[in-house]
Structure 1
Amino acid sequence: MTEAARRIHTVVVIGAGPIGLAAASHLHERGITPVVIESGTHAGAAISDWGHIRLFSPWKFNTDAAARRLLDTAGWTPPHPDHLPTGDELIEQYLRPLAELTPLSDHIRYRTTVVAVSREHRDKTRSLDREAHPYIVRTRHDDGEHLDIVADAVIDASGTWGHSNPLGAHGLPAPGEGDAREHISEPLPDVLGRQRQRFAGRHTLVVGTGHSAANTLLLLAELAAETPDTRITWAIRDQSAARAYGGGDADALPARGALGTRLKDLVASGRIELVRGLTIERMTPSGTTVTLSGRQNDEVAELEVHTVVPATGFRPDLDILREVRLELDPIVDTPARLGPLVDPNHHSCGTVPPHGERELAHPDDGFYIVGMKSYGRAPTFLMATGFEQVRSIAAALAGDREAADEVRLELPETGVCSSQAVTEDAAGNVVFARNSSCCGEPAGKPSAPQGLATGLAHGYSGGVRPLPVAAGCCGATVSP
């Protein structure tokens, strides 16, 4: 055993979601004690907010190998590998059993929030013998008690849920956005369930071009079919919604392809009003409505709605890490070596190469940001990618450099790569540039079989809720 392996005994893992529990599973398997800090009352608590959404990818891509080995010893019955789980199923059939029925149950602290991370007796500015000092993870329990946890390493798997990008232009909240909070929903509201009354018979504006926006728009369309006074407006900053429509029948993930096809049909039929080229510059709440003022194609624009759904993507909360020496990409707030690999200006989830401990390391030895938070502002993270991240990190912490560097990710190709130039023709059909390719290869050459877009697009929000034929949304069920 190497010196590095001898000194790593305890690792704090922030977050008991899919990636945090996968990290804990790999650490446990390596003989390292994980201490998992979870702010919610159960494993995967953040996922409960979008538990009604169905994932694009089947179970076989949504569970970690070390976690499965732990579950197998507890007599776990795995779900059917080809079934597309909802967020709630992901929790109840995988995360809760992993957290409650395996040895990990003794290592998870619920209702506890991480307030800050630092080095013992060393703030960010002090370098002398810095690596000889362990980490201090300051926590606060819901009852108000503060506790400092000493650890040899820290893995931040806290994700980005709850930290949405602003609705306003320029990357900044619009003036009045804070005052309009009661008119702004969560990014993936349960339109047909517990929040139905908020949307039925009212005017909703959905802002964004990702899969989160598409999901909410489809659910609102189903609600409108049942409650005719329900009005739906969809606002995007671009001139074309082609990227949101995706590849349709050409998509190797049928659920994802159907999502875009149905959305396009709803816009064409007028059941969803699409506002293109809109930037929001001010929000003014007034009673039961809020007025959004801005510009549309250089013309003054104004919309009055009851509720705004901010499907605008997420960004990492780095406040708790102010005393940690980080090296971040200046564009997307990822670990510096990971940034060029995930920059959405050049990559989609289908073109991000496998990566591990070396790409995720920071100047403070033994500190890592993983999972959705490791992708910063890039909307292309997938669970399977995170599982490989933490496997590599656990190997490195255990001193197994060979295993840490042998980073692999085997997933089928997606069929459609969203980094291709995409637009609409005069008839409104989605068109992919003929001479573009996913990974910089010559046109016509298939992308490498490390295509990652078989998990959750746009973080954890890339699902599609199966709609019954009678629902009136294109008259088809899109998920098995």
Structure 2
Amino acid sequence: MTISLDQLPVAVIGAGPVGLAAAAHLAERGLPFLVLEAGEAPAAAVRSWGHVRLFSPWRYNIDAAAAKLLADAGWARPDDDRLPTGASLADDYLRPLAELPSIKPYVRYGARVVAVTRFGLDRLRTAGRTEAPFLIRLGSGEDVLARAVIDASGTWDTPNVLGASGIPAHGELTAGAYVSNALPDVLGRDRDRFAGRRVLVVGAGHSAANTLLSLVELPGTTVTWAIRSGSPWRTYGGEADDALPARGALGTRLRSHVESGVVGLITGFGVERVEVVSGGVAVSDGTRTVVVDRIVSATGFRADHGIVSELRLDLDPIMGSTRALAPLIDPNEHSCGTVPPHGVDELAHPEPGYYAIGVKSYGRAPTFLLATGYEQARSVVAALAGDWVAARDVRLDLPETGVCNSDPVLGVDAVSAGCCGTPAIGLSAPGVEGGLGRSPLTVIDVSTGSGEQAGSCG
């Protein structure tokens, strides 16, 4: 069967902020498209953290092509200087965008993509590959054909594990009932799960900071924060010097709570074991153990490329992004605001016509901002329209100074981090192991912030 690619739409996977931005650019250029969204409404993942207020104001969260289409329809643009919540981002921007006559007929909800391949070809076949359409299989069993695929499916459904080695810690899966993923609504929907409890937050990014600041508002809740690094300075970020005041304020407020003892800080803590015990759940790094009632795993997210395993991808072995993009977003070198402009050339794979954009394009790097994803969408759509001049004219205006870097794990120089005015629970480095023996296990009492030697962990 011969199928002309020109007769097929561009398939956009995901109706979140970046997926709908891609749809807006496609509509603006008159290219046929189809948005496939697993949820029952636009911005389903955003609504999951709707209670969270973004640190970037509206001006950084609205795509230019989307804004033009909305303005033409009489949309009242929010105040550029105000900070939206996730809920307002969904209700005041993304829902009206998805409802536009130029977009709404081409969005399908409840359409979960389970696989993407080439029609009639597996990954090994080369002959005729560029002429074959993409075959997109939905969870319902339906197949959809497309001339190109823009994958903006995100990473919300694939959070990182608690285990410090990149795989689940011993007992982590068994203790799943005690673990919440990032950004629970601790002051609203999930309040009863956290109020008056001992809560451990694991992670050093914005998600952890937001959750910690919410937890301290719950009366009777004991809040402990565990990070792998030797110091929390990266989480505190630029504070007063941050180009985004709200982002800087996160660090300032969190530091104040740590220094006052309201939040107990454990540094150099990489989770090795999670065990349900009498009276709670025990979390251990092999040397120290914290016993709590609830754990919030704010350890970030990772891209899942499983649905495109039959396509020819060239992924960086560390980041999980394209190889060309990896050095530009490396969290060891960059924060959110220092990621260089990039577009279709850096996002291209050996599989022509397939592009992952948005947070999924970053693999495991936590340096993503919405403005970056919008520029990716603009560049990729321009390339699909054959406008290579516009596609390669990539520009970004990002506020510098952020908290998007990865933290180095505890090292020799990091042991003294507690001397800088930051009290830490169980700060001392793990003891040196010799032979089959281990250093004594420290049990950390989260109600008092004290540590007691509790015999050997043989």
Which TM-score bucket, shorter chain as reference? 0.7 to 0.9
Could you say if the C-alpha distance between residues 355 and 343 of structure 1 is closer, same or farther in structure 2, counting changes exceeding 3 Å? Answer: same
Q: Is the 8 A contact 1:180 1:283 kept in 2?
A: yes
Q: Is the 8 A contact 1:74 1:102 kept in 2?
A: no
Tell me which residue corresponds to 2:255.
264
User: What SS does the corresponding residue of 2:338 show, helix, strand or coil?
Assistant: coil
The runs of 5 or more residues in structure 1 that have no matched partner are 430-480
Q: Is the 8 A contact 2:235 2:403 kept in 1?
A: no
Matched, 1:178 2:173: yes
CA distance in 2, matches of 1:84, 1:403: 30
Amino acid at match of 2:238: G
Matched, 1:316 2:296: no
Q: Is the 8 A contact 1:251 1:416 kept in 2?
A: no
Q: 2:318 aligned to 307, 331, 339, which one?
A: 331
CA distance in 1, matches of 2:194, 2:388: 53
User: What SS does the corresponding residue of 1:380 show, helix, strand or coil?
Assistant: coil
Q: 1:397 aligned to 381, 384, 393, which one?
A: 384
CA distance in 2, matches of 1:418, 1:240: 13
Q: Deviations over 1:173-217 (max 9, x none)?
A: 112111111111120000100100000011110001111111100
Matched, 1:86 2:85: yes
Tell me which residue corresponds to 2:17.
18
Cα drift, residue 294 of structure 1: 2.2
| Count of paired positions | 414
Matched, 1:149 2:144: yes
Cα drift, residue 291 of structure 1: 1.4
CA distance in 2, matches of 1:136, 1:419: 37
CA distance in 2, matches of 1:19, 1:417: 19
Matches within 5 A, 1:198-277: 198-223=193-218, 227-228=219-220, 230-277=221-268
Q: Is the 8 A contact 2:15 2:37 kept in 1?
A: yes
Amino acid at match of 2:132: H
Amino acid at match of 2:131: A
Amino acid at match of 1:187: A
Cα drift, residue 102 of structure 1: 3.4
Matches within 5 A, 1:54-453: 54-140=53-139, 145-223=140-218, 227-228=219-220, 230-286=221-277, 289-295=280-286, 300-414=287-401, 426-428=419-421
Q: Is the 8 A contact 1:56 1:84 kept in 2?
A: yes
CA distance in 1, matches of 2:260, 2:407: 27
User: What SS does the corresponding residue of 1:189 show, helix, strand or coil?
Assistant: coil
CA distance in 2, matches of 1:403, 1:9: 23
Amino acid at match of 1:291: A
Q: Is the 8 A contact 1:8 1:32 kept in 2?
A: no
CA distance in 1, matches of 2:251, 2:420: 16
Q: Is the 8 A contact 1:154 1:368 kept in 2?
A: yes
Could you say if the C-alpha distance between residues 287 and 110 of structure 1 is closer, same or farther in structure 2, counting changes exceeding 3 Å? Answer: farther
CA distance in 2, matches of 1:395, 1:415: 30
Cα drift, residue 6 of structure 1: 8.1
Q: Is the 8 A contact 2:228 2:407 kept in 1?
A: no
Amino acid at match of 1:371: G
The runs of 5 or more residues in structure 2 that have no matched partner are 423-458
Could you say if the C-alpha distance between residues 245 and 13 of structure 1 is closer, same or farther in structure 2, counting changes exceeding 3 Å? Answer: same
TM-score by length of 2: 0.86
Could you say if the C-alpha distance between residues 364 and 8 of structure 1 is closer, same or farther in structure 2, counting changes exceeding 3 Å? Answer: farther
Cα drift, residue 9 of structure 1: 4.4
Tell me which residue corresponds to 1:443.
none
Cα drift, residue 410 of structure 1: 2.6
User: What SS does the corresponding residue of 2:103 show, helix, strand or coil?
Assistant: helix
CA distance in 1, matches of 2:278, 2:130: 56
Amino acid at match of 1:375: Y
Q: Deviations over 1:201-258 (max 9, x none)?
A: 11110001111111100000011xxx22x11110011111111111211112111111
User: What SS does the corresponding residue of 2:136 show, helix, strand or coil?
Assistant: strand
Q: Deviations over 1:138-194 (max 9, x none)?
A: 012xxxx32100000001001111211110121111121111111111200001001
Cα drift, residue 110 of structure 1: 0.7
CA distance in 1, matches of 2:291, 2:403: 37
Amino acid at match of 1:331: I
Percent identity over the alignment is 55
Cα drift, residue 331 of structure 1: 1.0
CA distance in 2, matches of 1:17, 1:260: 28
Amino acid at match of 1:427: C
CA distance in 2, matches of 1:411, 1:420: 22
Amino acid at match of 1:164: P
User: What SS does the corresponding residue of 1:146 show, helix, strand or coil?
Assistant: coil
Q: Is the 8 A contact 1:239 1:277 kept in 2?
A: yes
Matches within 5 A, 1:453-472: none
Q: Is the 8 A contact 1:350 1:418 kept in 2?
A: no
Could you say if the C-alpha distance between residues 219 and 321 of structure 1 is closer, same or farther in structure 2, counting changes exceeding 3 Å? Answer: same
Q: Is the 8 A contact 1:252 1:416 kept in 2?
A: no
Q: Is the 8 A contact 2:234 2:407 kept in 1?
A: no
CA distance in 2, matches of 1:268, 1:392: 45
Amino acid at match of 2:142: L
Q: Deviations over 1:245-299 (max 9, x none)?
A: 112111121111111111111111111111111121111124762211223xxxx
Cα drift, residue 100 of structure 1: 1.4
